[in-house]
Amino acid sequence: MNSKTKVIYGRYFSADDISFIRHLTFAPDHMTIKRRLSLLFMIVFFLSCTGDEGEVVNTAGPLSKVDFWAYQIDALDLPESIGSLCSSHYDLLVIDQQRSLKGSEGYETQADVSRIRNSLNSSGGKKIVVCYIDVGQAEGYRYYWQAGWETGNPEWLLDPDPDGWNDSYGVKFWSPEWKTIMKHYIGRIIDDGYDGIYLDWLMIYEFAPVLDQAQKEGLDVRKELTAFIGELAGYARGRKPGFLLIAQNAPELGNDTGYTRLFDAIAQEDIWYDGSGDPDNGGEEGDFPVDPLDSEKLINDLALWQNKGIPVFNVEYAVKPGNVDRAYQLGSQHQYRTYVTQRLLNKLSSTPHPDY
């Protein structure tokens, strides 16, 4: 902090800010003291919630206190999986909703979530449990999938996942029908007691079939994405105030305040180490170095979120000890909450953070 700045309520104020506040407070004019103090309070509150460019900064929430987190979205029906999650002391766990899978509709997900939430985190408190949800793709193995659906039927169902993940199809996400499906899905997640959702495939806005559809309809696909997530956030937080939203990937959208203000955190995959496609289809679990130029681009984009006070989580896919150590070191260097695991995400990592 230099001599031209001052801290008020945890916010750095410039000399111009201070001068204006002093003028408002002490300069004689027609306003009553009560009105002047009321206006002053509103200005300080507004400035304390804005960044250097006047952008709204997320206030500190429960995710800002997370030191260790983990990510498992497969094999959650195995008793040993739930036991392992409970006996861990991660502060945040991202898991799937088992009863959303076809054939498991009667699974008691609510009981698992309650058990996990009430187990101890690294500081002796309760864990935060967030549910994975793919908002940019329809998945053929989810409860909402109907017989006969295929690309083009319904009309908002587009091409299969470009990376070869099974039974996953891009969607025209601004479709009213898709929005209804997602709200119903989120409602079930809230009913099961989750603290929030972890939104995958936000990069849908740059999927070529989606861009084609948006162009045909004369739509700005990025604005539609912000409106879509805003509608989901409004629904979720209307049902459960304080409900958390974590964005996965698409960090370049950090320059859009209307978008970033919807989220409590962002999580980024493979900044330094990746796998290759779906391990169920023969893909590799990890240890593929990411091009340094791509890593640099991701780091710069994530800084857009950090500058707004938004926590950054990252997951790296690596197994080799040297790669694991490097991933944790680089994550710490950039002030990320890093988790290194294998891409299949069917169990907790065997290489937790060194301080875990």
Q: Tell me, what's the pLDDT at 27?
A: 42
Give CA–CA dist 174/171, Å, rounded.
Answer: 9
pLDDT average per 10 residues of sequence, the chain (356 residues): 33 38 43 45 39 46 97 95 98 98 97 98 98 98 97 97 91 98 98 98 97 98 98 98 98 98 98 79 82 98 98 97 98 98 95 97
Q: Tell me, what's the pLDDT at 5?
A: 31
Contact (CB, 8 A) for 315 and 70: no
Sheet (strand 137-139) strand order: 137-139, 168-171, 157-160
Q: Tell me, what's the pLDDT at 172?
A: 98
- Is the sign of the CA dihedral 277, 278, 279, 285 positive or negative? positive
Q: Tell me, what's the pLDDT at 301?
A: 98
**Lookup: tokens for 322:** 């040297």
Please count the other Cβ atoms lying within 10 Å of the Cβ belonging to residue 330: 18
Q: Tell me, what's the pLDDT at 283?
A: 65
Q: Tell me, what's the pLDDT at 165?
A: 86
- Is the sign of the CA dihedral 207, 209, 215, 220 positive or negative? negative
Q: Tell me, what's the pLDDT at 281?
A: 60
CA angle 278, 337, 6 (to 5 degrees): 145
SS3 annotation, the chain: CCCCCEEECCEEECHHHHHHHHHHHHCCCCCCHHHHHHHHHHHHHHHHCECCCCCECCCCCHHHHCCCEEEECCCCCCHHHHHHHHHCCCCEEEECCHHHECCCCCCCHHHHHHHHHCCECCCCCECEEEEEEECCEEECCECCCCCCCECCECCCEEEECCCCCCCEEEECCCCHHHHHHHHHHHHHHHHCCCCEEEEECHHHHHCHHHHHHHHHCCCCHHHHHHHHHHHHHHHHHHHCCCCEEEEECCHHHHHCHHHHCCCCEEEEECCCEEEECCHHHCCEEEEEECCHHHHHHHHHHHHHHHCCCCCEEEEEECCCHHHHHHHHHHHHHCCCEEEEECCCCCCCCCCCCCCC
* All domains of the chain in start order, with CATH: 6-48 (no CATH), 62-341 (3.20.20.70)
Q: Report CA 86 to chain centroid distance, whole Å.
A: 22
Q: Tell me, what's the pLDDT at 78?
A: 93
Q: What is the pTM of this model?
A: 0.84
Q: For residue 284, what are the contacts with CB-CB under 8 A and spacing of at least 6?
A: 275, 276, 277, 343
If we measure between CA atoms, which residue out of 72, 86, 148, 152 comes closest to residue 115?
86
